[in-house]
Structure 1
Amino acid sequence: MKKSINILGILLVFLFSNFAVAQLKSENYERNFKLGFGLNAGLPFNDPYNFNLGADARLQYNISETYSICFTTGYNNLFVEDEGTNFGYVPVKVGYKTFIFSNEFYVMGEFGGAFSTTKAYNNNSLLFCPSLGYATKYVDMSVRYEFLKDFPVIKDGVADNGLGQIMVRFAYGFDL
């Protein structure tokens, strides 16, 4: 018990000092917006999907040198094997981005909704996306895991829900 209290105390001191340093850095930082346009490609983990292609637009508000809030939307198309009906959806996500290692590498978490554009399937889904990336002034490259909670899949020959996929994003961005 005493050991866990000591660990908790050390963790709180670390978090407080990190927050205090971030506040000092952000006082002289000029906050700004950034807009980016990206191309996405992905590999779904579940049948009947073969691959995913899409494009997106991301509006990013830089709170400080290391923290940003993001809004992302676009269009993705899941290609179905055996000449079935392809599955299109519009993701609408909000996220939080934290830059690490000299403000080029980042981790980001996004959540939101995926809205089906396929007439044969008229449902929507929750969407969760943790990602790792590298960004310069104009280029943004990232890898993310994307989970669509309510999209139809086939698991072990049985219809189910919950599509997981790995996505790669290449984007061009600029300050507004």
Structure 2
Amino acid sequence: MKLLSKLTAAVLVMGALFFANTAKAQTTPANAFRLGLGIETGVPTGLARLGSTFTLGGTARLQYGISNDFAATFTVGGYHFFPKKIPGSDKRYGSYGEIPIKFGFKEFFVPNVYFGGEAGIAYEKLEEGWGPHRLDLSPGLGYANKTWDVSIRYENFSGADQPRFGMVGLRLAYGFGL
């Protein structure tokens, strides 16, 4: 929980700094495309925390402004779950990753602050090949201006007859208009 507290504090500090510098920035101009390239880190939850220490990855998010306060999103990328050591040995659990393909939205409820939601599919990449694909649901809260997008979210991976797991993630992205 200490790491989660630090991630939350970092998001709040970065959000305050960005808000102080660009309080009047319009982030989702209607009828305009934006592309955000982000780096992501997180803490595994559920079954994933038993064999993983943290996650690291990157995503590309295409955003289309439907109105000045609402945008549709399309996100692709990848997350790597770094394995823990197996107790009582020098070996580690198997390494794996998730490759998400998600559609979603961003709703700005005050200037620069948004609630977002995404749904899609995630393909599991194991050391020895491909694993199952899963439903990927991801609600989040973020701050965005004309250049930066910082968000925190919960990502849930689930499937029929498969164990559920996820991560609490932090995303820092650089965005620009197309």
Q: What's the secondary structure of 1:47's corresponding residue? A: helix
In the other structure, the counterpart of 2:173 is: 171
Q: How big is each residue's C-alpha offset from its partner over 1:121-172, in whole Å with a ceiling of 9 and x where there is no partner?
A: 52111000000000000000000001011399xxxxxxx7000210000000
Q: Give the aligned residue type for 2:36.
A: G
Q: How big is each residue's C-alpha offset from its partner over 1:58-111, in whole Å with a ceiling of 9 and x where there is no partner?
A: 000001100000000001101111122211121000001100212x00000100
In the other structure, the counterpart of 1:72 is: 75
The match for 1:141 among 128, 150, 154 is: 150
Greater shift after overlay, 42-51 or 65-74? Answer: 42-51
Greater Rg over alpha carbons, structure: 1
> d(CA) in 2 for partners of 1:163 and 1:121?
17
The count of corresponding residues between Structure 1 and Structure 2 is 140
Root-mean-square deviation (CA, aligned residues, Å) is 1.8
The match for 1:58 among 57, 61, 76 is: 61
> d(CA) in 1 for partners of 2:157 and 2:83?
16
- Name the % identity: 36
**TM-score where L is the length of structure 2:** 0.74
Higher relative contact order (CA 8 A, sep 6+): 2
In the other structure, the counterpart of 1:17 is: none
> d(CA) in 2 for partners of 1:120 and 1:108?
32
Residue 161 (1) aligns with residue 134 (2): no
